[in-house]
Structure 1
Amino acid sequence: MSVIFYGCVSLDGYLADKNHGLGWLHASGSPEETEYDAFYKTIDIVVMGRRTFDEVSKLGSVADIYPTTTNYVFTSRNDLEAEGIQTFSGDVVTFIQKIAADKRIWLVGGGGLLAPLLEAQLVDRMYIQIAPVILGDGIPLFQKHPYSRRFVLSDVKRYGQFAELVYDRLPANT
């Protein structure tokens, strides 16, 4: 299995504003300016947290937004029902480790999901797009943690006002 983070942050490293909103991102540009469509075609499974799901749902049905993938929402609440998703409330690391080796998993959002996967050295690639916005406060991409991880820069692209940095995980013994 391959675990991939693909997302956009502000210049100061936030995934969302302090209210978990993404209005700043939508005002910065659109996915059509990037290679999002080509990326999505390579994905089998989408994983996101509840707050990310709530924001994605403002754009439309998850079944319409992610029509060709199996879509999981991690949530501790049991009141979420929507077309095109399955909910899960357990440990994200255990969940990911049980997925078949030939599957490509997109971690859509949620520093709370990304942190344990980074700690377990399960994140293989990160596409980090940077929007030309300084939020000053918000939900950071990377949470504070007691470990360090090293990645290697494998590509840099420009899409209009967005910069995209692509990082690959170094082998465990590096």
Structure 2
Amino acid sequence: MRELTYYVAVSLDGFIAGPDGQFDAFLAEGDHMAPICARYRGTAPRVLAEAAGLPTEDGPFDTVLMGWNTYAVALPTLPSPYAHLRQVVITRHHDAPEGSEDVEFTGEDPVALVRRLKGESGSGIWLCGGGALAAALADEIDHLALKINPVLLGDGIPLFGSRGYSPAAWRCTAVQSFASGVTLGEYSRA
């Protein structure tokens, strides 16, 4: 069965973006980039990966799942940001923009969708955002891969949205710290 990994950058205080979706405080350069990009190859938008000489093939994921706000960050420049992956955007209120023919848009219940995707053949499923979608899918997430950035945002979009108090145990499977201050923490459901 396929597994769902929530792979995302996060601040020390648990935000994946600022209040208006800002993510420019996260480090995009440093000694952490090459090893993390190698470990999670294929998770950079294709245009950016090609410009940086990063491979997009043979990564851990063949499907990327995201909410509308995460998807919309690339609009209108990149209406199909991960053309090398199966792209699925969960939205009930937006139509597919021009140039997004390679992207699936669905209003399907996220839990039902993920359970269906897990039952299909293929490699891993990457949840790349956002926080509200992660909260809805918290019980379906098999792995967390957190690029913990050495910054406090103070406010913004929480890693798991408004999930409410519901403790869930995770097991740390790997930690790698870098001179840049970024730490890659990897966890599996306990």
The answer, yes or no, to whether TM exceeds 0.5 is yes
Residue segments in structure 1 that go unaligned for 5+ positions in a row: none
Q: What's the counterpart of residue 90 of structure 1?
A: 108
Q: What's the counterpart of residue 9 of structure 1?
A: 10
Q: What's the counterpart of residue 54 of structure 2?
A: none
- Paired residues for 1:71-150 under 5 Å: 71-81=87-97, 82-99=100-117, 100=120, 102-118=122-138, 121-142=139-160, 143-150=162-169
Kept in 1, the 8 Å contact 2:62–2:122? The answer is no
Kept in 1, the 8 Å contact 2:10–2:149? The answer is yes
Kept in 2, the 8 Å contact 1:21–1:55? The answer is no
Shift of the 61–83 alpha-carbon distance from structure 1 to 2, 3 Å rule, reads farther
TM-score by length of 1: 0.84
Shift of the 161–84 alpha-carbon distance from structure 1 to 2, 3 Å rule, reads farther
Give, in whole Å, the separation in 2 of the partners of 1:101 and 1:151. 26
Q: Please state whether the residue corresponding to 2:135 is helix, strand or coil.
A: helix
TM-score by length of 2: 0.78
Residues 12-48 of structure 1 show CA distances to partners (whole Å, capped at 9, x for unaligned) of: 11011001121222xx224834423442311011000
Residue segments in structure 2 that go unaligned for 5+ positions in a row: 43-58
Number of matched pairs: 164
Q: What's the counterpart of residue 47 of structure 1?
A: 65
Q: What's the counterpart of residue 177 of structure 2?
A: 158
Q: What's the counterpart of residue 69 of structure 1?
A: 85
What is the identity, as a one-letter code, of the residue corresponding to 2:89?
V
Q: Please state whether the residue corresponding to 2:188 is helix, strand or coil.
A: strand
Deviation, structure 1 residue 105: 0.5
What is the identity, as a one-letter code, of the residue corresponding to 1:147?
S
Give, in whole Å, the separation in 2 of the partners of 1:75 and 1:113. 10
Deviation, structure 1 residue 141: 0.4
**Identity across matched positions, percent:** 26
